[in-house]
């Protein structure tokens, strides 16, 4: 990823699918290992019973693990979202927050698994919480990661 985290945060916050639905990226760490996102409950992102619209909750989790790994791994890797699922735990009221985190060990595991050019399908879970800290929803994301062919480990010859 060639876009610096501070500029990327501004771009995300001006991006119509987020700006138009009240989703706000609050922070992207300089090393791309942490991203904080929130959605305030507004008249235009409520469902029929007055709580957060489920599609909005799902949207606030969409690109972030992919973005983080693109920023961490760099241009030598192909990184895509492959699959996602959401579990609604309780109605979302007030401001809902998602805190995305990747540890150095998680990143190292991806690098190691992808070193020979194999596809890697890591799964990550993010919890969306309300102002009291209660879990509103849980989203499981599966990514597709592969080291580009020109950067793979060369095959070892037998001695």
> Has residue 154 got a pLDDT over 60?
no
What's the pLDDT score for residue 109? 97
Q: How large is the average pLDDT for residues 84-103?
A: 97
Which residues contact residue 145 at a Cβ distance below 8 angstroms, ignoring those fewer than 6 apart? 69, 73, 77, 78, 79, 80, 110, 114, 119, 120, 121, 122
pLDDT by residue (tens digit) across 104-140? 999 999 999 999 999 999 999 999 999 999 999 999 9
Expressed as residue numbers, the domain containing 118 is: 5-151
What's the pLDDT score for residue 1? 64
Scan for tokens 């499981």, then name that residue: 140
The residue ranges of DSSP E strands in 41-76, in sequence order, are: none
What's the pLDDT score for residue 156? 43
Residue at 56 is within a domain: yes
Residue at 120 is within a domain: yes
Tokens of 7: 């500029």
Percent of the chain with pLDDT over 70: 94
Residue at 28 is within a domain: yes
> Has residue 47 got a pLDDT over 50?
yes
Residue at 157 is within a domain: no
What's the pLDDT score for residue 159? 44
pTM above 0.85, yes or no: yes
Tokens of 84: 């996602």
CATH number, residue 107: 3.10.129.10
What's the pLDDT score for residue 36? 98
How many structural domains is the chain composed of?
1
């Amino acid at each position: 990823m060639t876009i610096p985290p501070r500029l990327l945060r501004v771009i995300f916050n001006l991006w119509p699918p987020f700006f138009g639905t009240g989703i706000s990226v609050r922070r992207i760490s300089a090393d791309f290992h942490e991203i904080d996102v929130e959605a305030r409950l507004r008249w235009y992102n409520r469902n029929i019973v007055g709580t957060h619209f489920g599609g909005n909750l799902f949207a606030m989790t969409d690109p972030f693990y992919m973005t983080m790994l693109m920023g961490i791994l760099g241009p030598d890797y192909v990184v895509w979202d492959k699959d996602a699922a959401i579990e609604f735990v309780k109605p979302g009221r007030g401001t809902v927050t998602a805190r995305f985190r990747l540890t150095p060990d998680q990143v190292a595991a991806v690098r190691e698994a992808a070193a020979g050019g194999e596809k890697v399908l890591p799964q990550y879970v993010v919890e969306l919480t309300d102002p009291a800290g209660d879990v509103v929803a849980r989203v499981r994301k599966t990514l597709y990661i592969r080291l580009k062919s020109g950067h793979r480990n060369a095959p070892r010859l037998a001695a």
